[in-house]
Structure 1
Amino acid sequence: MPVTATADTAAAALPVAHADFGALRRQDPEIAEVILGEQTRQSETLQLIAAENFTSPAVLAALASPLANKYAEGYPGARHHGGCELVDVAERLAVQRATALFGAEHANVQPHSGSSAVLAAYAALLKPGDTVLAMGLPYGGHLTHGSPANFSGRWFDFVGYGVDAETGLIDYEQVRDLARRRRPKAIVCGSISYPRHPDYETFRDIADEAGAYLIVDAAHPMGLIAGGAAPSPVPYADVVCATTHKVLRGPRGGMILCGSELAERIDRAVFPFTQGGAQMHTIAAKAVAFGEAATPAFTAYAHQVVANARVLADGLAGEGMAVLTGGTDTHLISADPTPLGVDGRSARGRLAAAGVVLDTCALPYGDGRGLRLGTAAVTTQGMGEAQMARIAGLFTAGLRAEGEQARTVRAEVRELAGRFPPYRG
């Protein structure tokens, strides 16, 4: 469908240089219309996908910079291409800011994604066929935690641990028992839908008893950790893998933290083993995001993300949904909508029609799909607890509405989102 928002005023509102966008509109109007249409979509709907956020204009400016033109295989001071003097400065800044922000001895900021970071961690520490203990996919494990469709499940012998059937919390005694019996080479701590803080100290104790490496996949909580709103795994893990988007509010990409004793192995596992040239515009944008995350404003933001998630979780429970683990400690909420008479997949479709964008997730010990949502993006937009209470009402109204009622809910969502634009001016 053609996008109608193509006026100069709409183009000027984009968080990129107007002159650059004007050139794009003249040269490739089809792609320009896609960009403008996506801006409209993001501005008129509620972004509750737990893995998404809005970067700052400064991060976007770095992404759209001439650094995108530079090929920079290798590391600062040891590149395979000439002309890297300035991009070396950018990468060193990103590394310095990351290690300071998270209290780590070493950081690799080159991974293109969270999955790339996990792949490099496995490559550095494991051999094909090694046993790895990780959260099972039905309980919230990521594809890189042993999915048979992923490299992890094809190259390594993954053993899955789960959660308690009644509380939904990690069963640490099961983890310990599996580690004692299977003697894994590595234990992975991390999830895409677990809304509580893991006990990193207990995981460290279990790993030490089993003689295993502890790899923490902190893709989701990394921004909360940066803002002091979640405990840090850095003192306990051998390697921490993460994304730089999600709550951290940087560009799409990954990073790895580790101690100095593993630094060389991690670096060589990223390049040249699993990746080629670093994306220097993205690395510069990561540096910008790390700098932003070190500010008091970001600390306040991270705590507001959690406060918003707790209010939204309580609101959804009050509307009749089954909220897993009884609530949340993070930006994440996992919920079962079946008490309202609709399964997860159908609920996602109904909510999308109402302008509420989110994901489904596996339900532990259930046959269907639940809903996974997060509060990072709407908090970036400036929404607070009052708006979370309203979203809970719109949420359930969207699940129940049909016909004219559905159009009314969609209009209310558009009105709410319009009062909190992702990018102002």
Structure 2
Amino acid sequence: MTADSTLSSPAATPGTDYAATASEAYRAALQVIESVEPRIAAATRKELADQRDSLKLIASENYASPAVLLTMGSWLSDKYAEGTVGHRFYAGCQNVDEVESIAAEHARELFGAPYAYVQPHSGIDANLVAFWAILATKIEAPALHDAGVKNVNDLSEAEWERLRARLGSQRLMGMSLDAGGHLTHGFRPNISGKMFHQRSYGTDPATGLLDYDAVRAAAREFKPLILVAGYSAYPRRVNFATMREIADEVGATLMVDMAHFAGLVAGKVLTGDEDPVPHAHVVTSTTHKSLRGPRGGLVLATAEYSDAVDKGCPMVLGGPLSHVMAAKAVAFAEARQPSFRAYAQRVADNAKAFAEGLLRRGATLVTGGTDNHIVLLDVQSFGLTGRQAESALLDSGIVTNRNSIPSDPNGAWYTSGIRFGTPALTTRGFGPIEFDRVAELVVHVLSNTQADGTSKAKYTLADNTADFVRAASAELLDANPLYPGLTL
């Protein structure tokens, strides 16, 4: 495979040596930083070296292009711009208006959405904006209409207290954490679990797959205001048309959190019933992960919810990060290129090859495989906890994260699973052959790791295992360099 080079830019001036230009920019930036705090410059250089020298298999991480990264390092960071385009609480925001408008335009076109809100600082922020926009539309707006007023400040104290009680007594139903849902889908320690009366739906105990009939039955009984679909650790695709049918049947708003698989949606790997945008009322996402942009959040919505979402600041958010919105615009522009569709398909193809490589070597996978970018490995067959497996793999230069599996006996901290993702190494140029070799190395590490019976965290790695795997990994990494041509 050739690298899906994050140093190539479709917008670059013909004849420009993009790598040389980026190298010059980064060297100059690091010299300026070094003149003030050399330790930060050193840590930044070391981070690039570490990322170049490790097999990054964390599903929520990727490698943004130099264009995206450099966009964040600008004086747009210095501007307060609370409010939204054309309606700011600060003067002098004309350039931020332009940046936000461009980012929203690219997002709408990329996902085929009628409305896009690019201000959220993270995926959790995006979900909070979505939750409160739904509450404002479905609960607050009707209450204000009934009271004959235009905003909450016009309510009497008694009316306000009644509205507050209603806002705080609504129901939310989302995928459980151990089945692959996210903290913000109603997990009790998270604010989402405290905002709502919450109920979780899981997966079929026998297959690990979503049981839509069971979700439907639970929704009929619970009657949530919000039905949340989407996942952070479910290795299969979701039928969002069916989820919308369930939501409509019980009068719920369908909200889809596509933070993990947004790149597969943007790249048209997920289409039809598997594309959440035509089916959901509100869609939230991060802009990094499989989308390969800066760390940040995004909300897409139908016209019914757009006005409420547009009030995300000051409803939930503080001042938007204008420099990050600019980087989102650049990333969305990159994702609209034909090359990104090819990249997204390779992400899915590589996940399947990786899963097959693990299965062929005797590993146990949740749901028995994958058809997105996630592979979830049950490490109990190796006699390990997720914590032990994660640490042993890291010792060997393979960067992953431990993750709960359905009905996990070790809970959410130690876990019994390892979650893998293919977006980052696909960016480097890894293909099915390379991912099969990575599967071999993963199994080699775990087969040579001995659990310490006195602790769910302690383990012993057999002699020479880490050195062998690091050497084998180096061959793969050297053949698929990260940011090729970038020199500091």
TM-score range with shorter-chain normalisation?
over 0.9
Q: CA RMSD in A?
A: 1.5
CA distance in 1: counterparts of 2:106 and 2:276, whole angstroms? 18
Residue 67 of structure 1: which of 50, 70, 76 is its match? 76
Equivalenced residues, count: 414
Which position in structure 2 is the counterpart of 1:239? 282
| More deviation, 217-226/84-93 | 84-93
Which position in structure 2 is the counterpart of 1:179? 219
Instruction: Confirm or deny: 8 A CA contact 1:55 1:251 kept in the other structure.
Output: yes
CA distance in 1: counterparts of 2:466 and 2:129, whole angstroms? 46
Instruction: Confirm or deny: 8 A CA contact 2:378 2:418 kept in the other structure.
Output: yes
User: 1:391: Cα distance to partner?
Assistant: 0.4
Matched letter for residue 71 of structure 2: A
User: 1:325: Cα distance to partner?
Assistant: 1.1
CA distance in 1: counterparts of 2:76 and 2:480, whole angstroms? 32
Instruction: Confirm or deny: 8 A CA contact 1:60 1:285 kept in the other structure.
Output: yes
User: Are 1:149 and 2:189 matched, yes or no?
Assistant: yes
Instruction: Confirm or deny: 8 A CA contact 1:320 1:339 kept in the other structure.
Output: no
Residue 358 of structure 2: which of 308, 316, 321 is its match? 316
Instruction: Confirm or deny: 8 A CA contact 1:321 1:338 kept in the other structure.
Output: no
CA distance in 2: counterparts of 1:351 and 1:415, whole angstroms? 17
Which position in structure 2 is the counterpart of 1:211? 251
TM-score by length of 1: 0.95
User: 1:330: Cα distance to partner?
Assistant: 0.9
Which position in structure 2 is the counterpart of 1:27? 36
CA distance in 1: counterparts of 2:348 and 2:313, whole angstroms? 36
Instruction: Confirm or deny: 8 A CA contact 2:22 2:66 kept in the other structure.
Output: no
CA distance in 2: counterparts of 1:310 and 1:14, whole angstroms? 35
Residue 406 of structure 1: which of 466, 470, 474 is its match? 466
Which position in structure 1 is the counterpart of 2:124? 115
TM-score by length of 2: 0.83
- 1:254-313 Cα shifts (integer Å, max 9, x gaps): 000011121111111x11111111111100100111111111100000000000000000
Which position in structure 2 is the counterpart of 1:46? 55
User: 1:13: Cα distance to partner?
Assistant: 8.0
Alignment of 1:21-420 (within 5 A): 21-126=30-135, 127-231=167-271, 232-268=275-311, 270-368=312-410, 369-401=416-448, 402-420=462-480
CA gap of 1:396–1:118, structure 2 versus 1, over 3 A, is same
CA distance in 2: counterparts of 1:252 and 1:113, whole angstroms? 7
- 1:320-343 Cα shifts (integer Å, max 9, x gaps): 111111211111111112223333
| More deviation, 124-133/211-220 | 124-133
CA distance in 2: counterparts of 1:27 and 1:233, whole angstroms? 47
Larger Rg over CA atoms:
2
User: 1:415: Cα distance to partner?
Assistant: 3.2
CA distance in 2: counterparts of 1:14 and 1:130, whole angstroms? 52
- 1:51-82 Cα shifts (integer Å, max 9, x gaps): 00000111011111221122111112112222
CA distance in 2: counterparts of 1:253 and 1:41, whole angstroms? 23
Q: Equivalent residue of 1:138, what SS?
A: coil
User: 1:358: Cα distance to partner?
Assistant: 0.5
CA distance in 1: counterparts of 2:438 and 2:370, whole angstroms? 17
Instruction: Confirm or deny: 8 A CA contact 1:15 1:57 kept in the other structure.
Output: no
CA gap of 1:12–1:296, structure 2 versus 1, over 3 A, is closer
User: 1:14: Cα distance to partner?
Assistant: 6.0
User: 1:45: Cα distance to partner?
Assistant: 0.3
Matched letter for residue 238 of structure 1: H
Q: Structure 2: any 5+ residue segments left out of the alignment?
A: 1-19, 136-166, 411-415, 449-461
CA gap of 1:294–1:412, structure 2 versus 1, over 3 A, is same
CA distance in 2: counterparts of 1:302 and 1:44, whole angstroms? 24
Matched letter for residue 246 of structure 1: K
CA gap of 1:160–1:88, structure 2 versus 1, over 3 A, is same
Matched letter for residue 256 of structure 1: V
Q: Structure 1: any 5+ residue segments left out of the alignment?
A: 1-10
Matched letter for residue 347 of structure 2: V
| More deviation, 372-381/399-408 | 399-408
